[in-house]
Amino acid sequence: MLDRLDAAIDRHCVGLGSGTAVPRLLLVSVEEPIEPTDLLYEPMICFVASGTKRATAGELTQVANPGEMLLTTIDLPVTIELDHVPYRSAVMHIDGRALTELLVELDETGQSAPLPAGGQASAPMTPELVDAVTRWVELLDTPEDIRPLAVRIESEILYRLLRSSLGPALRQWAPADSATARVREVARWICAHYTEPLSIDAIAASAHMSPASLHRHFKAATGMSPLKYQKHLRMQEARRRLAAGDATAAQIAQAVGYVSATQFNREYRSTYGLPPGQDAALLRTRLTHNRTATTRRA
């Protein structure tokens, strides 16, 4: 069954990651090894058809092999490594409203669920789930079927997920008043304001949690403290801007929220192993090489 899903992804994916005509469906296809890549994950679930993905957030690492799925329940800065290629996966961005409506329909909104150990979890796909995801991707073969069928198949996938070992994590994710939801809102706030000074007392109060409780729940979900989470966001954005090459390291340091260029340089080197200038030069060399290789394959 995985061969059919793999072939469907291969037919319609044109690069490292591409959106599709099916709402909330992203396809990923990588043919050759790539360097570890920093990404900001939104709540989503990744269905792996081939290859192996390793996602690291702070102190937490999850691995998804062929036939497995990786659930992310919070906005999360991660480092992605592909241990085996070719790698192909279908990614569903979670529609919180659709999930809540399904839970209401199933009369499961009152069920309690244990707090997930982290903002990511992996598990095997059932045959029924593989079949549903494959049919969802194959809608791209018949575009006229997308509008009448995509939402129905997406609802089936959510139902199959709720019946899988990831069901408790999804049920805990949905309620607006859960600790998971409050941590998710804090993470979203930090993402939107990562360049600003961070007051733990203020964001804890806004989440109706004590600073100690916020720290505990936040680290359990993300693998890092709120301050380290903010630092990862700053580092990711700084690295992206450095690779673009349209500003100096000092200008970028200020743009992502650092008052001290010395502190920025120190934290950048601690994160990526090289000073900003050297790392930027290496990144641009790699990007040029990748573009040349892609052109040759085309």
Model confidence over 92-149: pLDDT tens digits?
999 988 988 898 888 775 544 444 456 889 999 999 999 999 999 999 999 999 999 9
What is the homologous superfamily of the domain 2-173 according to CATH?
A: Regulatory protein AraC (2.60.120.280)
Model confidence, pTM: 0.86
For 212-241, write each residue's pLDDT tens digit: 999 999 999 899 999 999 999 999 999 999
Sequence spans of domains, the chain: 2-173, 225-290
Q: The tokens of 58 are what?
A: 């702070």
C-alpha distances (whole Å) from 29 to each of 33, 89, 253, 261 are 11, 7, 33, 38
- Which has more pLDDT, 104 or 20? 20
What is the C-alpha to C-alpha distance for residues 75 and 43, in angstroms, rounded to an integer?
Answer: 6
CATH fold match for the domains 2-173 and 225-290? no
% residues pLDDT > 70 (the chain)? 91
For 155-176, write each residue's pLDDT tens digit: 999 999 999 999 988 887 766 6
Q: Are 191 and 230 in contact (CB under 8 A)?
A: no
CATH topology of domain 225-290: Arc Repressor Mutant, subunit A (1.10.10)
Q: The tokens of 179 are what?
A: 């600790």
